[in-house]
Structure formats: structure tokens, C-alpha cells
């Protein structure tokens, strides 16, 4: 939706790097495990965490966001389903029907309502609710996993890096979460050996 998308992540060793998950539903996985190489690490402890996260997402939600305790559970469930589907897609494995059910449930709610401003900029009708946001994530996931781009879902080829992304490069040759992170480490390793 926007060109300069991506998030700045901090690795366990302190390195900060830009990571572009390529699409909203895979970006949402970062609300669980921002550090590459770490197992699922919860970022959403209270509704305020979800509100903050939504503000950082590629939907460019700049106004009020409303989230409650129940939304945290819904967010965790949806994120788990997307994670599961993406990992299986990246490995060429079959999907689990239970995960599809979670997507359908979240997508059934209305998504955020887009508005166009005086200077023709796209915004949203505020407040945006967490339910609306999760619907947008689920709808994005349905488009992804039901379409041809599912073949472009990849896990970073870096050692102990589990970041998942949609390879949107024209030739479809993206292997790394970031050239500045795993890409460089691989280059150094190849040079040393």
C-alpha cells in the first residue's frame, strides 16, 4: 500500500535493521517475534501494546485506535494462524483447516473504512478498532494464501533466522530478511570459507 514500507527491528545482538515483510499479514507476525532467530516472543501484553503496534503497521493508522482485552486474544489467535499457514507455505507443506477457520472468522468483521482528504491523501475513518484492523490482516491473508503469490512466501535463509516474508522482487530471488542482516552475514561466511 505504501512504497517505503517495512519496520526497523532490533536483533538480539543489538543490530538495528530494516525488514520488509512484503504484506500486511506477514508484517503482523512481528507483533510476536521481532528478534530474528528467537522463538515466538510475545509483544502484546495489554491492549495498549496492540494500539501501539497498529500505529506502526503499514496501514498507516495515524488516528485513534480502540482495543480491549478480548482483542488481545483475537490478535494472538489470528497471528498464530497466519504464522502456521506461512511456515507451511514456505516449506511447501499442506495447510491446516483450523487455521483457515481462524482467518474466516476474523475477516467476517468489517475492515477499517478508508477516507480521502482535501489534498487527496488516503486516511481512515477514526477511531479504527482492533477488530477492524484484524479483519484487514485476515483479508490480506486470505488474498495471499488463496492466490498465486503464496508461492512467494519465504522464510529467511539465514541461520537461526525465522523471519517470514513475501518475496515481492521481480525475479523472485529474495532470500534474506535484510541484506544488512542475514545477507551480509552469509557474505562474510562465504568469504571466510
Binding residues for Zn ion, total number by CB under 5 A: 6
Shorter beta-carbon distance to Zn ion: residue 23 or 135: 23
3 state SS for the chain: CCCCCCEEEECCCCCEEEECCCCHHHHHHHHCCCCCCCCCCCCCCCHHHHHHHHHHCCCCCCCCEECCHHHHHHHHHHHHHHHHHHHHHHCCCCCCHHHHHHHHHHHCCCCCCEEECCCCCEEECCCEEHHHHHHHHHHHHHHHHHCHHHHHEEECCCCCCCCEEECCCCCCCCCCCCHHHHHHHHHHHHHHC
161 binds Zn ion (CB under 5 A): yes
11 binds Zn ion (CB under 5 A): no
182 binds Zn ion (CB under 5 A): yes
Q: Which of 156, 164, 165, 174 binds Zn ion (CB under 5 A)?
A: 156
Q: Which of 22, 47, 112, 158 binds Zn ion (CB under 5 A)?
A: 158
Shorter beta-carbon distance to Zn ion: residue 164 or 182: 182
Range 36-55, binding Zn ion (CB under 5 A): 36
90 binds Zn ion (CB under 5 A): no
Instruction: Kindly state the smallest distance separating residue 71's Cβ from Zn ion, in Å.
Output: 29
Binding residues for Zn ion, rule: CB under 5 A, are 36, 156, 158, 161, 177, 182
Amino acid at each position: 500500500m505504501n512504497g517505503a514500507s517495512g519496520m526497523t527491528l532490533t536483533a538480539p545482538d543489538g543490530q538495528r535493521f530494516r525488514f520488509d515483510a512484503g504484506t500486511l499479514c506477514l508484517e503482523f507476525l512481528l507483533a510476536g517475534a521481532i528478534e530474528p532467530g528467537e522463538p515466538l516472543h510475545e509483544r502484546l501484553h495489554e491492549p495498549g501494546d496492540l494500539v501501539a503496534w497498529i500505529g506502526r503497521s503499514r496501514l498507516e493508522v495515524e488516528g485513534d485506535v480502540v482495543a480491549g482485552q478480548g482483542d488481545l486474544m483475537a490478535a494472538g489467535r489470528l497471528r498464530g494462524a497466519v504464522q502456521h499457514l506461512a511456515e507451511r507455505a514456505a516449506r511447501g507443506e499442506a495447510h491446516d483447516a483450523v487455521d483457515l477457520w481462524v482467518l474466516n472468522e476474523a475477516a467476517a468483521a468489517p475492515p477499517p473504512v478508508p477516507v480521502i482528504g482535501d489534498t487527496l491523501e488516503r486516511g481512515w475513518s477514526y477511531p479504527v478498532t482492533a477488530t477492524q484492523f484484524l479483519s484487514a490482516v485476515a483479508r490480506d491473508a486470505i488474498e495471499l494464501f488463496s492466490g498465486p503469490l503464496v508461492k512467494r512466501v519465504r522464510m529467511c535463509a539465514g541461520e537461526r533466522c525465522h523471519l517470514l516474508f513475501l518475496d515481492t522482487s521481480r525475479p523472485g530471488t529474495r532470500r534474506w530478511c535484510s541484506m544488512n542482516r542475514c545477507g551480509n552475514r552469509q557474505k562474510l561466511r562465504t568469504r571466510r570459507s
